Structure 1
Amino acid sequence: MTLPKPITDYLAAHEMRDADAALPHFTPDATVVDDGHTYRGPDEIGGWLRRAGSEYTYTSTLTATDHVDDRRYVATYHLEGNFPGGVVDPHHRFTLHNGRISRLVIEP
């Protein structure tokens, strides 16, 4: 399954660790939930984007995608690196609104 362009563009920018390119794919009132923390709006999400890719060294492989309904999609990754545990398969649960990401929840 092919993910919608706002999601693939965000994922490509995030993979390149380019927060400035990733941030415009979120709505102004977007929410991101990752590792037990919630980030709201462009300032908090921008800070999260800048930190998220810089804490550890890891490889990332997209292993599955799912189209839940007309607004919700899931991208599952396999990560290996020097973070605690060394291996994880997080699900990135996206909700779209007006062609942008309004919610992203990253969880195992």
Structure 2
Amino acid sequence: MNLPKIITDLVNAQNSFDSIAYTNCFSETAVVFDEGKTHNGRVEIQYWIEESNEKYRSVMKPLEYTENGTSSVLSAECSGTFPGSPIVLKFHFDIVDGLIQHLKVTG
């Protein structure tokens, strides 16, 4: 599967539980929406991913990727220490200037 570099970097950072590398995939003003909560900017995103990594130890296996302009969707099998693991989640991205500006995670 041919993924943009920033998405590959995000998956690699997630799978190695590297919250700093993960956070660096986002712009300074990025917004993440996951599990009913919104996280604004890199500081909140780093706190969210550190907490998520500690709680769920989730790894991603990309299954499908579609792109339409700056918007894209990655379907990935996610497994970890959460109920129902593994599950397939959709990661809806807006990428601007090579960084993620918006991410919404859906089931």
TM-score by length of 1: 0.87
2:102 counterpart residue number: 103
Q: Which residues of 2 match residues 1-108 of structure 1 at below 5 A? A: 1-58=1-58, 60-67=60-67, 69-108=68-107
Rounded to whole Å, the distance in 2 between the matches of 1:106 and 1:63 is 15
Deviations 1:40-62 (A, max 9, x none): 00111000111122212455422
CA contact (8 A) 1:3 1:73 kept: no
User: In the alignment, is the contact (CA less than 8 A) between 2:70 and 2:94 conserved in 1?
Assistant: yes
Number of residues paired by the alignment?
107
AA of the residue aligned to 1:101: I
Task: Give the percent of matched residue pairs that are identical in Structure 1 and Structure 2.
Answer: 28
| Per-residue deviation, residues 14-36 of structure 1 (Å, max 9, x unmatched) | 11110111111111100001111
**Aligned-residue RMSD, C-alpha:** 1.6
Dislocated runs of 4+, deviation >3 Å: 57-60
Unaligned runs of 5+ in 2: none
- Conserved in 1, the CA contact under 8 Å of 2:94 and 2:102? yes
Q: Structure 2: how far apart are the matches of 1:34 and 1:12?
A: 19
